[in-house]
Amino acid sequence: MKRNIIYIFLLSFLIFCSCDKDVVIERGTEGVLSDIFANIEGSGPARLFEPRYSNDTIYFDIPYYYPVDSDFETDLSKIIVRATISSDAMASVRFGEPMDLTKPLDFYVVSGSGVEKKYVIKAKKVGDTSISDSKISFDLDGTTQEVDGILINDELRFFVLSGLDMSQTTLTFAINKHATASISSGAVLDLNTPKTLTISAPGNVEKEYKIVLMEPIRLSYGFGIHRNLWLKEGAEWDFTGDKESCIAVSGDYLVITTTGTTGNSRYRVYNRFTGEYVRDMYMPFTASSGALSQSNQLVADETGKLLAVNRAAYGQNIRIYKYTDVFDDDPELLINTTNASAELPVADRSTGRRLNITGDLDGDAIITSPASVTKAFYRWEVKNGVLVSQTPTVITMSGMAGNHIGYYPEIQYIHPSVASNYLLGQQNDFSYMDATTNTQINAVSLQGRGNTTFMNALAIGRFNNATYAFLGRYFSNYTLRRMGLSMFDITNPQMLSTQSSSSLYASFNVFNSETLIAPLSTTGPGTGDIAVGYSDGGDRMQVYMLHTGYGIWAHEFTVYSAN
């Protein structure tokens, strides 16, 4: 009994000593400000105003009016600044609440260990001095010629042949309604000598643009000058949440698909240069269609003819209609079959969420539609304008990342032949696939791959003797709010195996857009889309990127050298 008491005493003593030991908590030694941006009341978490940095000074150029084309003057005394600091640090100001930025604002970030770092915010209101839609027109042998301007840095360039008399040239352009110009839009100028156009805006800001006429230097291959055409948010297109799932280009028109579940899907047609609404296309999938009442996708071939498909659950009918153009009110029922292949594994197996075409539906073309949550897709072949078979070939793929390809993958053949290798864009990877074995040749190397979440929006464009693949990439996290466009030169398909560490990578991944951040408070669907169009006899290529739930971003690429 004594021995037991001694053991209990010793055990209690050890427990007491162990409880008395200090717990050391490592405190951060820096008051780090890792992110900061600003907005206004009522804008939620949207990143409206981005900063500029100079040492410990943070500058905000706040638009004098917001939105910039409105009459709502911004109040610098009610700007909301949002910031991210170290987890155990504290700030001397309350971020996320309106604050007065009419004068410089000093604040401190104090680390967990007590280290103090000072910052200064300086804000000013600046008007919009941008210029857009610039054109010149002039007479040539009794015919009025019109040339679009291209803005490169501070030069407004117009490409015309040398030796022309440009002494009676009309200049037109668009500027913000609160801005003024030193030359009126519509003025007749002598552009045989260079001119300077000055745009002045509220906030005592002005910008000079040099008007330059240049003889076009046409490249024999690929693109030269490129620019952002425009970014239009969903409100300008009457977006309905995240229901806009697809875009297509046919001639001068951009078609936006709005998904409906009870026969209220829509194919809305807009002029892709002016943004003007034109009409709704004929919709074959209506409430009376029963299981055929939903459409997620309308897509164009490489000549502007269009295919519309219904979303078909496993066991349901698949119908694909062919339109000659956006004004075709009597589309041809090209494919009428059933989603019932026994080769598909037991999973979701629905099809029609995505449809891709390579080639010309009046010539040779390959049509694909994935089977959701499998590793398979349906493939149809068109030869000399005739569908080879109503019954699709079921292609089962292997070797790529992931247990399945998700709900919205895209399969794009590089050439309109069943013997062509193809590209697979899906939530897990961007793959170059072998047409014979249907196994992955390689995952396409992407800069910042670890920062890419989804990569399923995919398109191919053929421009000035080059073939390009376009990939929509969702960045950073699974909220699917950050999207960007990447462009790859795949004229030589072997370049698809180029590693990002290679010195040749820049000639493969030839363009990456900025990241478009949607001001959504909830997770986006990740159902972006890409469409490609051409103008000026093929001298210009326009690439449209749909960021579902946010808007559409247009980029333009030309055959003209920037030098």
What integer is the mean pLDDT of 227-235?
A: 87
Three-point CA angle 83, 454, 339, nearest 5°: 145
Smallest CA-to-CA distance from 557 within 500, 513, 495 is with: 513
Three-point CA angle 8, 9, 14, nearest 5°: 100
**Which single residue is written with the structure tokens 């609440």?**
97
Tens digits of residue pLDDT in 256-275: 999 887 788 999 999 998 88
Which residues 6+ apart lie within 8 Å of 402 measured at CB?
426, 427, 428, 429
Q: What is the rounded distance in angstroms from the CA atom of residue 244 to the CA atom of residue 19?
A: 60
Q: Rg for the chain (alpha carbons), in Å?
A: 29
Smallest CA-to-CA distance from 115 within 56, 32, 34, 30 is with: 30
Q: Are 376 and 343 in contact (CB under 8 A)?
A: yes
Which residues 6+ apart lie within 8 Å of 211 measured at CB?
156, 158, 171, 189, 191, 194, 195, 196, 197
Structure tokens at 94: 């309350």
Task: Tell whether the torsion through CA atoms of 388, 392, 393 and 399 is positive or negative.
Answer: positive
Query: Could you tell me the maximum CA-CA distance found in the chain, to the nearest angstrom?
Result: 122
How confident is the model at residue 106, as a pLDDT? 96
Classify strands 57-63 and 116-126 as parallel, antiparallel or unpaired: parallel
Task: Please indicate whether the domains covering 131-214 and 226-558 agree at the CATH topology level.
Answer: no
| The CA-based dihedral angle spanning residues 461, 466, 467, 471, taken in that order and rounded to the nearest 10 degrees | -70
22 has pLDDT over 70: no
What integer is the mean pLDDT of 167-188?
A: 97
DSSP string, 362-402: TS-EEEEEE-TTSSEEEEEEEETTEES-SSPEEEE-BSSSS
What integer is the mean pLDDT of 312-316?
A: 89
How confident is the model at residue 6, as a pLDDT? 45
- Other CB atoms within a 10 A radius of the CB of residue 181 amount to 17
How long is the chain?
563
How confident is the model at residue 536, as a pLDDT? 85
33-126 CATH choice from 2.60.40.2340, 3.30.70.100, 3.40.50.2300, 3.40.50.720 = 2.60.40.2340
| The CA-based dihedral angle spanning residues 408, 414, 417, 421, taken in that order and rounded to the nearest 10 degrees | -80
Which comes out higher in pLDDT, residue 8 or 359? Answer: 359
26 has pLDDT over 80: no
Say what percent of the chain tops pLDDT 70: 92
226-558 CATH choice from 2.120.10.30, 1.10.630.10, 1.10.357.10, 2.60.40.420 = 2.120.10.30
Q: Are 303 and 326 in contact (CB under 8 A)?
A: no
131-214 CATH choice from 3.30.1490.440, 2.60.40.2340, 2.30.110.10, 3.40.630.10 = 2.60.40.2340
State the pLDDT confidence band at 25, using cuts at 50, 70 and 90: very low
545 has pLDDT over 80: yes
What integer is the mean pLDDT of 394-402?
A: 94
How confident is the model at residue 137, as a pLDDT? 96
* pTM, two decimal places: 0.75
| Domain ranges for the chain | 33-126, 131-214, 226-558
Structure tokens at 173: 């352009």
How confident is the model at residue 344, as a pLDDT? 78
